[in-house]
Amino acid sequence: MPEVLTQALALPGLGWLIAAALVAGIVRGFAGFGTAMVYLPVAGAYLDPFAALTTVIIMDLIGPLPGVPRALRERHPGDLGRLVSGLVIGLPLGVLTLSLISPDMFRYSVSFIALMLLALLITGFRYHGEMTPRLITGTGFLGGYLGGTAGLPGPPVIMLYMASSHPAPVVRATNTLYLLIFDFFLLGTFLVLGRLDFGFVGLGFVVMVPYLIGNVIGGALFRAEYEKLYRWVAYAIIAASALMGLPFWEG
């Protein structure tokens, strides 16, 4: 393990990764979302796609674990089952796509998907139709595919559930478990395919430290009366990160 950490600490661009993890943690702490959309555009400039996804999964894995027992009690079993059934089909297809595209294409994909989802959030897009079992399964598939391709499994599910009639704790619990299951499935897929480099697992633990510190800072900064302001600050940071992550700036 010390060798793994030594390899991680010697990585060029480590300072930028630490800074991105810290900012991602702050945004997550006061806005409740945005980890991958802030971190991945920066990480993609220094890491290959599989390494970047490995680090963000490890970085974000421990935070939800204390809430799992409560989430298991409050989840919607039917919805979670449908989301996961779509996930297990979409995720391998997403990883296959990831293996076929270049690192620059990965960076373009992450940035453009983040900007597109950000635009939908800013414009207040909502799904107004019926939440059928087929739609929920399809959303799980889309989340799995986007997660396997660009590390962004959450936004499709979150945006669908903005239209849900379920109580907020049920939605939160179902989303939490879905994303946690995604993390383990993606790591397992990388391991089976021989794409899980334990040096980058170590790097994930390194950037986890500033990420958790950022969460604490963001949580301390949060004031309920300024929730709308924090959301717009998060939007601005995500947009800046996505734009900075585009490869053409380097050409």
The confidence score (pLDDT) of residue 5 equals 60
Residue spans of the domains in the chain: they are 2-245
Instruction: Report the pLDDT value the prediction gives residue 51, as an integer from 0 to 100.
Output: 93
For position 251, what pLDDT does the model report? Answer: 53
Q: What are the pLDDT digits (tens) for 90-124?
A: 999 999 999 999 988 998 888 888 888 888 878 87
Q: Which of 33, 21, 27, 95 is nearest to 64 (CA)?
A: 33
The residue length of the chain stands at: 251
Residue 23: the pLDDT is: 92
Q: Determine if residue 124 is left, alpha or beta; phi over 0 gives left, psi from -120 to 50 gives alpha, anything else beta.
A: left
Query: How far apart, in whole angstroms, are the C-alpha atoms of residue 70 and residue 17?
Result: 32
Render pLDDT for 186-220 as a digit per residue (tens, 0 to 9): 999 999 999 998 888 989 999 999 998 988 888 78
User: Is residue 227 very low, low, confident or very high in pLDDT (cuts 50, 70, 90)?
Assistant: confident
The residues, ordered by sequence, that sit 6+ positions from 60 with a Cβ below 8 Å of its Cβ are 35, 36, 183, 211
- The yes-or-no verdict on residue 30 having pLDDT over 80 is no
**Which band of pLDDT confidence, cut at 50, 70 and 90, is reported for residue 68?**
confident
Question: Which has more confidence, 228 or 126?
Answer: 228
Model pLDDT, residue 155? 80
Question: How confident is the model at residue 234, as a pLDDT?
Answer: 80
Average pLDDT over all residues of the chain: 85
pLDDT digits (tens, 9 = 90+) for 77-92: 889 999 999 999 999 9
The per-residue pLDDT for 17 is 94
Distance between CA atoms of residues 242 and 188, nearest Å: 28
Residue 168: band (very low, low, confident or very high) from pLDDT cuts 50, 70, 90: confident
